[in-house]
Structure formats: C-alpha cells, structure tokens
Amino acid sequence: MKKKASAEKKAEMPEFLFKDFTDEENKIYEEAMNKYREAIVAGRTLRQAYESYAIADAKLASFIQVDFLKILIAERHFTEQQTFETIAAALDVSTDLIKDTHKRMLQEVGVSAANQFGQEFGGSIPSTND
C-alpha cells in the first residue's frame, strides 16, 4: 500500500522542461525581452508589448512571452510588492492569468529545488544534528 501512495505522489509532481537555447534562439530571446521591456516602460499593455517584436517560431515566441511575464511578476510582486490585481491592471490582463502564472513559477522553483537536491545527494537524505 505504501508503494502505491508513493507512486501517486510522484505522479502528482508536474514535469517542467527548461529550454536550452541555440545561439540564434538566445539572440532572439534577448532582443524580444528588450523590446517587450521597452514597450511596457512606454505604457503599453502586455499584448502590445508582445506585438512589438515578431518571432517567426510560434513555440519559441510562446516560451519567451511566458518567460517575460514571469519576470514581470517576479519584479513587480516580489521586489516592488505590487498586488496581483495591480499587476494585472497595469498589463491589461486578467488577475487569473497573473495568479496562474505565479502558481506555475512556484511549482517550477519547487521542482528545480527537488531536482537539485536529488543531484547533490544522489537520492540519499543527509543526516542532521537535530
């Protein structure tokens, strides 16, 4: 019975794939981020920012756009202490989009931390002095 519960827990952990960019993709990523940021600073909406830099590869464009939104949320929510509602209003998007993206960010951090822990300790749990 314990094995089943353990297997169910593993199944619940979301999988995240982190993209390794080619040199060309990295160049596009940097250019897009700069253009998006310029548009936001100029008072444009998130959609207008995305429209300010065309990316031919739809999958790459989606990845970069999601990443940009995560960066904005991190800067505005964690650094500037803005509420999700304030961020959503400034970007002209739904509060649910901001909340869902934030939730995904936290899941990614948790999975990355767990993976890093597994790599460092090879599946064994280190002993403590408590």
As a whole number, the mean pLDDT across the chain is 84
Q: How far apart are CA 78 and CA 73, in angstroms?
A: 7
Model confidence at 8, pLDDT cuts 50, 70, 90, reads very low
pLDDT digits (tens, 9 = 90+) for 11-24: 454 555 566 789 99
Within 13 A of 103's CA, how many CA atoms are on the CB side?
Answer: 7
Least confident of 6-15, 34-43, 106-115: 6-15
**Domain coordinates in residue numbering, the chain:** 23-121
Say if CB 93 and CB 46 are below 8 A apart: yes
48 vs 118 pLDDT, higher one: 48
How does pLDDT run across 37-72, given as a tens digit for each residue? 999 999 999 999 999 999 999 999 999 999 999 999
pLDDT at residue number 116: 77
Q: Is the pLDDT of residue 10 over 50?
A: no
pLDDT of the residue at 7: 43
